[in-house]
């Protein structure tokens, strides 16, 4: 089966109350860890590539490795551009064989966001030279400090804008801001309380905004960015082995699970993979200072990524065991 767009995935996810995991990929071990987990759990996948990942790894390498992942696993997989920031970048990905793109105009004025998103949608949905490519737009901005897609100050999505945005642009899905943010430090300590172990407890997501958006757009797939939970197990391993990540905090899994049963069909996870990777490598070097073969420590990183992804698929996203129904829907839609 070729790499697919997200239509069949979101159709099933919405109908059956689960979400597809959208995992960021930057190198071979990350892709392998994710795909090994999904293969064991028979789960669909969105493998997403940021502008930074393309610059780091070269787009052709990533594209070919994702194609290899599909070939090896036989799973339903979409190759998605994460946070595309220009028409040219989206076009380059579409022309190169991506099956889905995000155009992130959330830093622009509302009018400019509509205009840019519409231009990408027109190109992506025109099937003269390529298959139908699904497009994700964004309304509202996520706060965060660590990557090139974050803003210092966030702003929640305004439910009163979503019908106009979706109608004018023709997007296939919409990323909204309800209190998640990118990176491993999603909240400042002063925004949180602390539990009995001194671990930060963040403020709850704005489910009232999600509900208001879903009421305006019944049946329409919603996307959550910045949805890592920052497992304290990995933070502790990192800190115990020479790292320094005080007060790293993420989104509680129970809230993501709840969102997945609602209109949220795609949940973006990157930081948790980075933490698993780093914890594996730091622990490996602490225990085996004599090792210098990358397969040894990158093997541990890959094993941690697999562990994180398995947990997400089964306990958070609810998409374990759903690969077959998505393939059946894809075949029906593409008869
Ligand atoms: O949303 C952002 C992703 O975590 C990608 O981050 O731009 O550092 O590749 P990156
Ligand atoms: P995290 O930093 O929470 O993993 O979010 C990733 C993301 O939103 C990628 O687009
Ligand atoms: Zn994001």
Contact 181, 150 (CB under 8 A): yes
- Going through the chain in order, the beta strands assigned E by DSSP cover 20-24, 45-50, 77-84, 100-103, 134-139, 143-144, 173-176, 181-182, 193-194, 200-201, 222-224, 264-269
Tell me the best of 57, 81, 83 to mutate to test the pocket of ligand 1, counting ligand atoms within 8 Å of each CB and taking the most: 83
> What is the reported pTM?
0.97
Distance 226 CA to ligand 3 centre (A): 5
Tell me the best of 25, 268, 277 to mutate to test the pocket of ligand 2, counting ligand atoms within 8 Å of each CB and taking the most: 268
Predicted confidence (pLDDT) per residue in 11-36, tens digit = 999 999 999 999 999 999 999 999 99
C-beta 66 within 6 A of ligand 2: no
What value does the mean pLDDT take over residues 176-190?
93
Distance 325 CA to ligand 1 centre (A): 30
* pLDDT for the residue numbered 197: 83
Rounded CA-CA distance 44/193 in Å is: 36
C-beta 24 within 6 A of ligand 2: yes
- Going through 233-293 in order, the beta strands assigned E by DSSP cover 264-269
Predicted confidence (pLDDT) per residue in 295-326, tens digit = 999 999 999 999 999 999 999 999 999 999 99
| The token pair that represents 178 in the structure block | 């309800």
* pLDDT for the residue numbered 153: 63
* pLDDT for the residue numbered 281: 98
Which domains are seen in the chain, by residue range?
A: 7-333 (3.20.20.70)
Closest atom of ligand 2 to CA, residue 228: 3
* pLDDT tier for residue 151 given thresholds of 50, 70 and 90: low
Give every CB contact of residue 154 below 8 A, 6+ residues apart in sequence.
140, 141, 142, 143, 144, 177, 181
Which residue has the CA at smallest separation from atom 4 of ligand 1?
270
Rounded CA-CA distance 152/124 in Å is: 31
Contact 227, 19 (CB under 8 A): no
Quick one: which of 31, 45, 38 has its CA closest to 78? 45
Closest atom of ligand 2 to CA, residue 182: 2
Predicted confidence (pLDDT) per residue in 202-219, tens digit = 899 999 999 999 999 999
Which residue has the CA at smallest separation from atom 1 of ligand 2?
226
C-beta 104 within 6 A of ligand 2: no
* pLDDT for the residue numbered 123: 98
* pLDDT for the residue numbered 200: 84
| The token pair that represents 77 in the structure block | 């997989």
Percentage with pLDDT > 70 across the chain: 97
């Amino acid at each position: 089966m070729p790499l697919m767009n997200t239509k069949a995935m979101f159709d099933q996810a919405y109908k059956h109350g689960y979400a597809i995991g959208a995992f960021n990929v930057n190198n071979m071990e990350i892709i392998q860890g994710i795909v090994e987990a999904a293969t064991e759990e028979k789960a669909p996948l969105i493998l997403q590539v940021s502008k930074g990942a393309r610059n780091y790894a070269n787009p052709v390498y990533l594209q070919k490795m994702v194609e290899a992942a599909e070939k090896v696993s036989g799973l339903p997989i979409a190759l998605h551009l994460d946070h595309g920031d220009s028409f040219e970048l989206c076009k380059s990905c579409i022309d190169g064989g991506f099956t889905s793109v995000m155009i992130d105009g959330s830093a622009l004025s509302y009018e400019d966001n509509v205009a840019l998103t519409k231009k990408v949608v027109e190109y992506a949905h025109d099937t003269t030279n390529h298959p139908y490519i699904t497009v994700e737009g964004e309304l509202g901005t996520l706060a965060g400090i660590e990557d090139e897609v974050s803003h210092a100050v966030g702003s929640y999505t305004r439910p009163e804008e979503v019908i106009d945005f979706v109608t004018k642009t023709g997007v296939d899905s919409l990323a909204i801001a309800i209190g998640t943010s990118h990176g491993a430090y999603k909240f400042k300590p002063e925004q949180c309380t602390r539990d009995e172990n001194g671990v930060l407890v963040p403020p709850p997501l704005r489910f009232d905004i999600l509900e208001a958006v879903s009421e305006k757009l019944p049946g329409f797939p919603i996307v959550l960015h910045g949805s890592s939970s920052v497992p304290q197990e990995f933070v502790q391993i990192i800190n115990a082995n020479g790292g320094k990540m005080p007060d790293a905090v993420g989104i509680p899994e129970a809230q993501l699970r709840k969102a997945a049963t609602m209109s949220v069909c795609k949940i973006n996870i990157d930081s948790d993979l980075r933490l698993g990777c780093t914890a594996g490598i730091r622990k490996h070097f602490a225990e085996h200072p004599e090792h210098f073969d990358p397969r040894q420590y990158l093997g541990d990183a890959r094993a941690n990524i697999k562990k994180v992804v398995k947990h997400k698929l089964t306990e958070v996203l609810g998409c374990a065991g759903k690969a077959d129904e998505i393939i059946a829907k894809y075949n029906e839609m593409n008869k």
